[in-house]
Structure 1
Amino acid sequence: MISAWAARTFKALEYRHYRVLWIGTSLAFLAFMMSSVVQAVVAFELTGRNGAVGFVSLGMGLATILVSPFGGVTADRLPKRRLLFIGQSIIGLNFAAVGLLIVFDLITIPLLALSTLVMGAVFSFIGPARQAWIGELLPAHDLPNGIALQQVGMTLTRVIGPFVAAGLISVSFIGTGGTYLFMAGLFVFVVLTLSMLPPSQAVARGGRSFRDDMALGVRHIRARPRLMLAVVTFIGVIMAGFSYFVVLPGFLENELGRSSKDMALLMAAGAASGFVVSVGVAGAAGSRHAWSLMAAGGVVLGLSLVLLASAPNFGVALLAMLAIGAGTGAFQVLNNAIVMREAEPAYHGRVMSLTMLAWGVNGLVAYPFGALADWIGERETLGVMAAGVLVIVAGAWFASLPLRGAAAEGALPRPLGGD
């Protein structure tokens, strides 16, 4: 029984090229997850304000909102390996530059925000390219599992990343500057993995303009109601509930009397449970239960934010983060698998670029959430986030009811119009 579960859960890793891409992607995510901790620590220590943590994230949000639609079209037009090589090299250099600015005591909040702006712009290209490339490396029947395993790898780095970041920051001769330089070093290995992969193919555009290709991607989503609902739900839940990290430093210091650096422990706890749940649901990514399990993950996230908001001490906050990790893990894994499964392969880059708008919106609302926490308090702000998540998930659930009669769960819906 265990061997059958393992074979089903890790099926996509049997393909060598996918396995190499998975390793490189996981290393990139490791650096990214480390950056979410170290940049929050740097911003809060420079100013002592939640708003500064949110302002730094604003750069990535703006870039993602403005650039990601172009990144999706580019991913569907150009060879994916070339895009990844250029983009990941830029991110590595970006981390190195920030590390040197910190080492020489030249870092400022605007410069830190500029670095996230660069990172957001680059991720808007390489994120869709990476997802679309999976569609080339795996057969259609193993694609949902491949997408789910990529999310499992990302969740695993959420476990390791905060611990590695916290450990490096705590070493006096490394600190935050050395941590950024370490992240830059990780991208050297990320780029090297690309040399082990076969060249990817560009997709013929058939004489269409950039704008026409973008419009076709939007029409493709609108013509598939279940796909559109999954995309809209993802954007809504990410926007409402995934900015809790912005208020964690202030929540720890102002409400629980702990150091802001303990944020790494909370995020690692959430990531650990998220990893376990992600592995558990990976095998169900292509099943008829995927939508129901995704909705359940969203509900768990909302209720867990309520628990975190009312936590009287660090121990309860840790338990709340374990539940938050479980909810976010299930929701992300299954939503991404549903989206990729219900979109045609030729549109994967454009479809995933629109889901990346969720992270752009998340970056934009991070600053208002941080400012709101400075105004009404961290607990109250977490309560607002929880309410938003629960309302969005409930709305998505009721909106999905009419679609179930038209198509069984897990099956492609009938398009409403041509592409």
Structure 2
Amino acid sequence: MLHALTKVSTFRSLEHKEWGILWLAGHLWHLAFWMDLIVLGWLVLELSDSAFQVALVGTFRLIPMGFLGVLAGSLGDRLPKRKLLILAQIINLTVTVAFTVILIFDLERVWLIYLTALLTGSAWSIDFPIRRAFIRDMLPATAIVNAMAIDAASLVGMAMAGRWIGGGLLAASGPVLAYGFLVGCYIVGLALLVRMPNPTVEPRPSTAAPSVVKDLIAGFVYVWRNPALRGVLLVTVIINFCVAPYFQLTPVFAKDVFDIGPGLLGLMSGMDGLGALIGALVLASMIGLVRLGRVFAIGSIVFGVGVLLFSQAPNYQAAIPFLVIVGLGTAGFAAMQTTITVTQAEPEMRGRAMGAVALGIGVIPLGMAFVGGMSEWLGAAEALGLTSLIGLGLIAMVLLFQPDLRRAKQ
């Protein structure tokens, strides 16, 4: 199947066998990540009927990113990346099997859901910086933009599929079947990763600091001193605090604003994945794409505008096209966020540079808690509308005062 895909220019980087296997395994991990968020969020909503407690699912899922993501990026410059990825997926599988047993015996409680989200979030925090730095290690420079674009397509496409499948299984049979499906995803994904040949990585001089803490500081300083990377980091922080928390509030919008059930929730919330899939495939098909900063800037603005429009949608039918716009913006933002980072950073600093980006993503739990708390006070629509509007203003300021980011090229 992969050989046939390489004949299409959109998937040309898959001619590298190791990357092709990692890409296929990534589909299953991405699907599980998004499906799990929908299922856990709905469970908490059913147990608590609280927007704030639903938002805390995303908070616990992503709070490890602020520390473990940075640490994993540093370790990825010191230890074999493939072994770290296997460790992350073993954690995912173990936790998911344990929570499936809890569901079978009807023992689920809100605190157990939060613990599950925290543990799988820890595995995701290891995976995010390591896998993207690993992709750059295993591929030549000519393949990297295409590889990052189709990796983003996998992430966002599975966001769509995961939410549709999660919502459908919740509506049809409940959370036990949904979690059984997740166990299967992790088993197959881990098997693919274990079977993946060890790629040949060109030896590079080590710049690792004497201690992990000094290594982390060195990575952050390196990113901050590079104007383009600094701009990526600042926009990443703004989007993850002010804009991205929208997805954890979709169950609240479904139940309290649009008055729909889990089936239509899955359909609606997956539409940003559809838009992002379209956008990512378009980017992957652009063979001569070099103006990475411009795509990143446009994607970031479109992302924020889409969330602002979604927050003011009067019904779920109107929300669907607005979420497609969110997805189109996400494609440009997410694909170029990674591509700019791994192309601007020196080879021996890629893991730490991605760790710094993971630190920026790590503010999303704070954003989720903040927007969730505001939703209890103002209402979900008003809170999300206000924070996305503030985010748009801050993004515009960064793009204005960081011209090197706008001019970033491959």
Displacement of 1:283 = 4.2
Displacement of 1:196 = 2.7
Match of 2:259 among 238, 257, 261: 257
Distance of 2:56 and 2:321 partners within structure 1: 28
Aligned residue-pair number: 402
Q: Which residue of 2 aligns with 1:110?
A: 111
Show CA shifts across 1:360-409 (max 9, x none): 211222122112112101110121132133112201220233677xxx54
Q: Which residue of 1 aligns with 2:3?
A: none
Distance of 1:115 and 1:97 partners within structure 2: 9
Displacement of 1:152 = 1.0
Q: Which residue of 1 aligns with 2:233?
A: 231
Corresponding residue SS for 2:260: coil
The farther-off stretch of 72-81 and 239-248 is 239-248
Q: Which residue of 1 aligns with 2:36?
A: 35
Q: What is the identity, as a one-letter code, of the residue corresponding to 1:392?
A: L
Show CA shifts across 1:298-322 (max 9, x none): 2222222232222222211112111
Show CA shifts across 1:205-248 (max 9, x none): 66722223223212321231111111221221122111112322
Q: Which residue of 2 aligns with 1:277?
A: 279
Corresponding residue SS for 2:409: coil
**Contact 1:124 1:353 (8 Å CA) reproduced:** no
Same amino acid, percent of matched pairs: 25
Distance of 1:403 and 1:51 partners within structure 2: 35
1:188-207 maps to which residues of 2 (within 5 A)? Answer: 188-199=187-198, 204=206
Say if 2:342 is the partner of 1:343: no
**Contact 1:21 1:194 (8 Å CA) reproduced:** yes
Distance of 2:403 and 2:7 partners within structure 1: 33
Q: Which residue of 2 aligns with 1:89?
A: 90
1:160-175 maps to which residues of 2 (within 5 A)? Answer: 160-172=161-173, 175=174
Distance 1:373 1:153, change over 3 A: same
Show CA shifts across 1:244-266 (max 9, x none): 12322222222222225532111
Say if 2:220 is the partner of 1:218: yes
**Contact 2:61 2:121 (8 Å CA) reproduced:** yes
Q: Which residue of 1 aligns with 2:15?
A: 14
Displacement of 1:22 = 0.5
Unmatched runs of 5 consecutive residues or more in structure 1: 412-419
Match of 1:363 among 362, 365, 370: 365
Distance of 2:132 and 2:233 partners within structure 1: 15
Unmatched runs of 5 consecutive residues or more in structure 2: 1-5
Distance 1:374 1:207, change over 3 A: closer
Distance 1:105 1:144, change over 3 A: same
Q: Which residue of 2 aligns with 1:131?
A: 132
**Contact 2:227 2:404 (8 Å CA) reproduced:** no
Corresponding residue SS for 2:362: helix
Distance of 2:211 and 2:145 partners within structure 1: 30
Distance 1:284 1:345, change over 3 A: farther
1:285-296 maps to which residues of 2 (within 5 A)? Answer: 287-296=289-298
Distance of 1:328 and 1:115 partners within structure 2: 27
Distance 1:367 1:44, change over 3 A: same
Distance 1:71 1:92, change over 3 A: same
The farther-off stretch of 128-137 and 27-36 is 128-137
**Contact 2:92 2:123 (8 Å CA) reproduced:** yes
**Contact 1:239 1:358 (8 Å CA) reproduced:** no
Distance of 1:50 and 1:109 partners within structure 2: 13
Distance of 1:303 and 1:326 partners within structure 2: 11
Show CA shifts across 1:63-109 (max 9, x none): 22232221111111111111111110111111111121122111111
Corresponding residue SS for 2:195: coil
Q: Which residue of 2 aligns with 1:180?
A: 179
**Contact 2:274 2:327 (8 Å CA) reproduced:** yes
Distance of 2:384 and 2:209 partners within structure 1: 49
**Contact 1:26 1:153 (8 Å CA) reproduced:** yes
Q: Which residue of 2 aligns with 1:324?
A: 326
The farther-off stretch of 35-44 and 193-202 is 193-202
Distance of 2:327 and 2:179 partners within structure 1: 25
